[in-house]
Amino acid sequence: MDDTILKAEIDSETTLYVSPIATATYQEHISEDNLGGDAGYFLMRARKVGLKESFEILAKAPSFDAAGELFDMIVSAGRRRAAA
């Protein structure tokens, strides 16, 4: 994810990203092409469990603004839970 645009550590095991995605990465992580291809901005989550790391595409947005809003909602909710 060299082109990462937004990145936030949600907790010690979870990192959230917003970024464009390479065609090969898209094909590797999408079993059915139900997101309309690799164009756009993707909200992605990386999780570390022990020595294993998993990567998951959570959502696709047509614009950086839309992806940024989703990112902000998730990050803000996580911060509110941590402060409670």
pLDDT digits (tens, 9 = 90+) for 22-45: 888 888 877 777 788 888 999 999
Identify the segments of the chain with pLDDT beneath 70: 1-4, 78-84
73 with 80: CB under 8 angstroms? no
Distance of alpha carbon 34 from alpha carbon 73, whole angstroms: 24
42 with 22: CB under 8 angstroms? no
pTM over the 0.85 mark: no
